[in-house]
């Protein structure tokens, strides 16, 4: 169980870290998702915080579980935002969501709630 937890957590951290870097280009991200441009840096910081939380999760289980939970909520919102503007390219968001759910479930299974 621990190996699966660490593997999924690292994959999730890589995915979210790469996504956070894309938010360094706020104009393209804002226009693509139909959100105000001033939101994009905040969304990037949330992704970066989720990445750090996942990486710290094995040492601080509560922080890892909270980060995974936050990422689940983030990607539910991201999928809704894509659908709201008529974008049907939500496969990436679904993959990120599944990764965050897996990290949360495996983290809770390995560490428990606390």
% of the chain with per-residue pLDDT over 70: 93
Read off the pLDDT of residues 54-66 as tens digits, 9 standing for 90 and up: 999 999 999 999 9
pLDDT at residue 54 in the model: 94
Segment 74-83 long-range contacts (CB within 8 Å, at least 24 positions apart): 74/43, 74/46, 74/47, 74/50, 74/100, 75/100, 78/33, 81/33, 81/34, 81/35, 82/33
Read off the pLDDT of residues 56-94 as tens digits, 9 standing for 90 and up: 999 999 999 999 999 999 999 989 988 888 877 789 889
CA 31 to chain centre: 20
Domain ranges, ordered by start, for the chain: 2-111
Helix pair angle (39-56, 61-84), 10° resolution: 150
């Amino acid at each position: 169980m621990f190996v699966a937890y660490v593997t999924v957590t690292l994959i999730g951290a890589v995915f979210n870290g790469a996504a956070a870097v894309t938010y360094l280009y706020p104009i393209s991200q804002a226009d693509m998702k139909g959100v105000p441009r001033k939101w994009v840096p905040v969304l990037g910081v949330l992704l970066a915080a989720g990445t750090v939380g996942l990486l710290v999760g094995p040492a601080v289980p509560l922080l890892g579980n909270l980060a995974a939970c936050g990422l689940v909520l983030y990607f539910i919102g991201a999928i809704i935002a894509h659908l709201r503007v008529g974008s049907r390219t939500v496969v990436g968001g679904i993959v990120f969501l599944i990764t965050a759910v897996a990290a949360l479930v495996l983290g809770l299974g390995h560490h428990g709630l606390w």
